[in-house]
Amino acid sequence: MVVNDISPRAPLDLDRLQEAAGPLWKVQLHAAAESTNALATASLERGLVVVADHQTAGRGRLGREWVTPPGAALTFSAVVDPVVDDEWWPLVPLVAGYAVARIVGGSVKWPNDVLLHDRKVCGILVERVHVRARGGDKPLAVVGIGINVDQTADELPVPWASSLGLLGFPWDRTELFARVLHGLRVWLGVMTSGPTTFVANYRGRFDTLGRDVRVDLPDGSTLSGRADGVDDHGRLEVETSGGTVAVAAGDVVHVRRAE
């Protein structure tokens, strides 16, 4: 892990970010922006990475919010072409969460929250966007990644959140950015030959296994059972009294640990 002498709160610098990202990415930096996902979705360009030093209206999944103070978090969105069959698209957010978890030494709470010491330090929001291409529409993924790097306890929006710094792992945001982009590229690359290798690795960092969970579904109902695993499509397998049910991330409002 890289720990260095650059203050984590030093403002991000475009030249440093671009150098860290390398020539395969085109970095765009905003001192302040509402949501990097919104910006990346608006100017869809494969390889574009939109970074905000301060994200003022960060988006979570299902209309929820992602809240970070100025200069303390890493918030960015990368436009990628996952080159996978439609059937494996639901795995793209899991790939992003897994890539971050590996780098920060954390685990993944299904589907893609990154936990460290049982606290959420990173959230992922992937949006699938269609661009016009020769021969029809082509989907691209806007992979939004928010990592709590240096927040103090009173800067965290919810009690179950923490930051890497608070947990004893200080990171330079630019260095972390470079590592995460690289990891994302590597693991999306692994996915192009099918999900098996990725899913096996994901299972190794899967925090939810064996836990009693309550899954809130969009229609207001809940499913209770024991998290039994993740299938090859990235669905959570829940062992219920009526048998095993596989739930897809897109169909789930919340997965809570049963108390």
**Residue numbers at the binding site for ligand BT5 (CB under 6 A):** 35-37, 55, 58-62, 64-68, 75-77, 113, 120, 123-125, 144-146, 148, 157-158, 161
d(CA 219, CA 183): 36
Which residue lies nearer to ligand BT5 by CB, 13 or 65?
65
Closest residue by beta carbon to ligand BT5: 123
Beta carbon of residue 241, minimum distance to ligand BT5 (angstroms, whole number): 27
Q: What is the dihedral of CA 141, 110, 72, 30, to 10 degrees?
A: 10
CB of 17 within 8 A of CB of 174? yes
Measured from the CB atom, the residue of 222 and 239 that comes closer to ligand BT5 is 222
Instruction: Tell how strand 212-216 and strand 254-257 pair up.
Output: antiparallel
Residue 115 CB, shortest distance to ligand BT5, in Å, is 10
Helix, strand, coil shares of the chain, percent, nearest 5, are 25, 35, 35
Q: Which is nearer to ligand BT5, 46 or 239 (CB)?
A: 46
For ligand BT5, give the closer residue by CB, 75 or 208.
Answer: 75
Of the two residues 85 and 118, which places its CB atom closer to ligand BT5 in the complex? 118
Q: Considering the complex, what minimum distance in angstroms separates the CB of residue 15 from ligand BT5?
A: 21
Please report how close the Cβ of residue 29 comes to ligand BT5 at its closest, in angstroms.
Answer: 13
- How far is it between the farthest Cα atoms of the chain? 56
Given a contact cutoff of 8 angstroms between Cβ atoms, the answer to whether 108 and 84 are in contact is no
Interatomic CA distance for residues 197 and 191, integer angstroms: 8
Q: Residue 134 Cβ, how far from ligand BT5 at the closest point, in Å?
A: 30
